[in-house]
């Protein structure tokens, strides 16, 4: 399955009382589809999944699948550090009609590479859904090595990798070793263009909540050989992408969305909102970003 160039790891909006705000979620889904998102990942890191109950996760995934209504692919985050639970969740979202699943490396219990492989193999053996292997060692405490990822790519329904290791060297090793029909996505917005330039497919993005179209323009410019334009977009996006991770994700991007009129600043503890200083810094960087994008468009 092809997630396109820009997939969005969607936030979960909350009411003041902490309950999921489904009305705002529907607005965000429509906003993403209209602004450069090729596919949606629901209940990933950006969705504050660690603080959602099992029933909330399932209800929100089902809601998203229904509202998207096959217009673009919906990938359900089902990964957990318990293989049996991950398999159970996979069966549930498969019945909902998910187009694929995202499975993160088991966290906290820190399995070795043989254990990581066995975890993904066990999940793959229970479903025909495409599986996104999600490597994010900064969150999980374990790195899925390039060798393990390459081994996993020999399993028929594992053909998509989300690499958030931050290592272009590791990404290069993966691209060199996996089959041609395996897509490697950056899990870091700032590395989108560098990864595409070495053969990656695109990005599973946080920033695309607010700059999906610009990220598409950057990738399109590179593909069309307009490398100076692509470089200019990358240089404009980089400060914004860094600011969106000045606090734990998704705190900054929720503030960014609030500036576009979406009431989504609420996060669940132990996350807390942005400091006023960081809000001002974001506002300044956003203004500079808009100016740079206008300049790029006027010269291309």
CB-based burial label for 55 (10 Å; 0-12, 13-18, 19+): exposed
Annotated catalytic residue 284? no
Sequence-ordered list of residues with C-beta below 8 angstroms from that of 41, at least 6 positions apart, any chain:
7, 8, 9, 10, 74, 75, 77, 102, 132, 204
Tell me how far apart the alpha carbons of residues 37 and 216 are, in angstroms, rounded to a whole number: 9
Pairing of strands 131-135, 183-186: unpaired
Distances (CA, A) of 143 to 82, 140, 242, 258: 17, 8, 22, 34
Annotated catalytic residue 22? no
51 annotated to bind ligand: no
Peptide bond into 117 cis (omega under 30): no
As given in the structure block, the two tokens for residue 17 are 């009382």
266-276 in b/e burial notation, b at 16+ Cβ within 10 A? bbeeebeebee
Tell me how far apart the alpha carbons of residues 193 and 125 are, in angstroms, rounded to a whole number: 34
Determine the 3-state secondary structure of 162 from DSSP.
strand
Distances (CA, A) of 203 to 9, 14, 192, 282: 10, 26, 6, 22
Q: Considering 80, 117, 134, 282, which one is annotated as catalytic?
A: 134
Which of these, 129, 130, 131, lies nearest to 120 by C-alpha position? 131
Instruction: Scan for tokens 């914004």, then name that residue.
Output: 240
Angle at 253 (CA atoms; ends 164, 278), nearest 5 degrees? 110
Q: Considering 80, 117, 162, 233, which one is annotated as catalytic?
A: 162
Residues flagged as binding site: 46, 204
The residues that are catalytic are 134, 162
Residues flagged as binding site for pyruvate: 46, 204
């Amino acid at each position: 399955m092809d997630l396109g160039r820009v997939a969005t790891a969607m936030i979960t909006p909350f009411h003041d009382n902490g309950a999921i705000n489904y009305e705002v979620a529907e607005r965000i889904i429509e906003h993403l589809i209209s602004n450069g998102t090729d596919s949606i990942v629901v209940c990933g890191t950006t969705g504050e999944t660690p603080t959602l109950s099992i029933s909330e996760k399932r209800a929100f995934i089902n809601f998203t699948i229904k509202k998207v209504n096959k217009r673009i692919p919906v990938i359900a985050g089902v990964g957990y550090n318990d293989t049996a639970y991950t398999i159970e969740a996979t069966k549930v979202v498969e019945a909902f009609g998910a187009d694929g699943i995202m499975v993160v490396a088991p966290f906290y219990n820190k399995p070795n590479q043989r254990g990581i492989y066995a975890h993904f193999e066990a999940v793959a053996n229970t479903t025909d859904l495409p599986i996104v292997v999600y490597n994010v060692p900064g969150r999980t405490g374990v790195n899925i090595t390039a060798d393990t990822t390459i081994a996993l790519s020999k399993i028929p329904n594992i053909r998509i990798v989300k690499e958030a290791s931050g290592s272009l060297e590791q990404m290069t090793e993966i691209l060199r070793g996996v089959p041609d029909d395996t897509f490697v996505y950056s899990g870091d917005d700032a590395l989108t263009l560098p990864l595409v330039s070495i053969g990656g497919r695109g990005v599973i993005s946080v920033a695309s909540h607010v700059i999906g179209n610009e990220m598409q323009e950057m990738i399109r410019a590179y593909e069309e050989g307009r490398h100076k334009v692509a470089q200019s977009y990358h240089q404009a996006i980089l400060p914004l992408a860094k600011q969106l991770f000045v606090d734990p994700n998704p705190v900054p991007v929720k503030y960014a969305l609030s500036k576009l009129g979406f009431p989504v600043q609420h996060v669940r503890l132990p996350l807390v909102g942005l400091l006023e200083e960081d809000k001002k810094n974001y506002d300044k960087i956003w203004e500079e970003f808009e100016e740079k994008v206008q300049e790029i468009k006027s010269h291309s």
